[in-house]
Amino acid sequence: MKVSRIARGVRGVTLIELMISMVIGLVVVGAVIVTFVDSGKVSRYQSALGQMNQDAQVALNLLSREVQLAGYVSPVQSLGTTPPLFGCDGTAGTVPFTDPAATGALTCGGATGTTVSALEVVYEADLYNTVVASGSVPSDCLGNGFSATPYIVRNRYFIDTGPAGRPELYCASNLSAKQPLLENVDDLQIWYGIVAAAAPNQVIRYARAGKDAASTGTVNELGTAEWSNVMSVRICLLMRSAEPILTSEDPSTYKDCSGTDQTTTGKYLRRAYFTTATVRAKMTS
145 assigned to some structural domain: no
Distance CA 191, CA 236 (A): 9
Q: Please count the structural domains in the chain.
A: 1
Residue type, 188: L
144 assigned to some structural domain: no
> What is the predicted pLDDT for the residue at 154?
95
129 assigned to some structural domain: no
> What is the predicted pLDDT for the residue at 11?
63
> What is the predicted pLDDT for the residue at 37?
59
Instruction: Answer yes or no: are the C-beta atoms of 71 and 282 closer than 8 Å.
Output: yes
105 assigned to some structural domain: yes
> What is the predicted pLDDT for the residue at 187?
93
266 assigned to some structural domain: yes
pTM above 0.75? yes
238 assigned to some structural domain: yes
> What is the predicted pLDDT for the residue at 171?
96
Instruction: Answer yes or no: are the C-beta atoms of 123 and 77 closer than 8 Å.
Output: no
- In tens digits, the chain (285 residues) has pLDDT values of 455 555 555 566 677 767 777 778 777 777 766 665 565 567 788 888 999 999 999 999 999 999 999 999 999 888 888 889 999 888 878 888 889 999 988 888 866 666 789 999 999 999 999 999 999 999 999 999 999 999 999 999 999 998 888 899 999 999 999 999 999 999 999 999 998 876 777 888 898 887 544 444 454 678 778 888 899 999 999 999 988 988 888 888 999 998 999 998 889 999 999 999 999 988 764
Distance CA 161, CA 23 (A): 54
Q: Which domain holds residue 248?
A: 43-74+83-120+155-282
168 assigned to some structural domain: yes
Show Cβ contacts of residue 56 under 8 Å, excluding neighbours closer than 6 positions. Answer: 237, 239, 271, 273
The DSSP-derived string for 132-197 is -BTTTB-B-TTSPBPSSS--EEEEEEEEEE-TTS-EEEEEEESSS--EEEEE-EEEEEEEEEEEET
Distance CA 277, CA 237 (A): 14
